[in-house]
Amino acid sequence: MVAKMTLRERITTAFKREMPDQIPFTCYQELAPSAETVSSLNKLGFAVIWRKEPFYFQQPNVETTVHQITDEKYPTELIVHKTPVGTLTQKAVIEPGYGSRWPTEHFVKGPEDYAVLEFIIRDTICVDDIDGFVEADRDLGDFGMAIPRAADPPVLELWRRLTGLERFSYDWHDCREEVQRVLDALSERNGKIWEIAANTPCDFSCSGGNMTGDVVSPKMFDTLIMPHFEAEAAVMHGAGKTTLNHMDGMLKSLVDVIARCPID
């Protein structure tokens, strides 16, 4: 009688495009229920995937403060980045479903803010935390696995987390040079993230993006997103890693360009 695979073995086998003894049933660690419930579900074949950053950021010339706002409908934070070249603020709601942070007031409010944002990104130091990643993976044991989380495509990170889609759209038309400098800074920072992720003791690496075809056209994908995935794959494949990406939107219009993408 052939022994059953562990939950970790099932995930690893599926990610390698091979056939496990049964289809893995998984959930991201940040969406998982309580530890007690997870323990019960493990016996039914449920596993946790932890997209864990093997690094953390330091910004020696940026003073960051977070203020809790209590008079809003939902928990709200005001984040303030003070730099030698200016100050950026963001107001974000912590939504009660997944605990996601949704900006209601973005850091970039006008073209003049891109210079401050560029300073913050270029001031960012990526610090190796591979030991922390290994510890997180060890904690999951055979009941799941940690995967090093790398960097999202710069253009998606920019409009999702820093500018908002409307602001980005106007500024990409009206002051593209300023926007491009920020995208270049994010790309350079991402290269440092990839170097760390490539050195983790894991066969895989993942990134995000929340891709959706109602915002990203095939032309935009080819121009602004494909170069990111090509550069990422060159590093990760060179380190023997399989790359994964989180896409959860309306993708029918993008199937052809995604098929040409080097994401595994």
Question: What DSSP string describes 48-91?
Answer: EEEEE-SEEEE-TT-EEEEEEE-SSSS-EEEEEEEETTEEEEEE
* β pairing state of 86-94 and 101-105: antiparallel
Query: What 3-state DSSP class applies to 201?
Result: coil
Given a cut of 50, is residue 1 above it in pLDDT? no
pLDDT digits (tens, 9 = 90+) for 25-67: 999 988 888 888 988 999 899 999 999 999 999 999 999 999 9
Whether the Cβ atoms of residue 84 and residue 122 lie closer than 8 Å to each other: no
pLDDT at res. 242: 95
pLDDT digits (tens, 9 = 90+) for 226-262: 999 999 999 999 999 999 998 989 999 999 999 999 9
Based on its alpha-carbon atoms, the radius of gyration of the chain, rounded to whole angstroms, reads: 20
Q: In whole angstroms, what separates CA 69 from the centre of its chain?
A: 26
H or E element at residue 125: strand 125-128
pLDDT digits (tens, 9 = 90+) for 68-96: 998 888 899 999 999 999 999 999 998 87
User: Looking at per-residue confidence, does 103 or 2 come out higher?
Assistant: 103
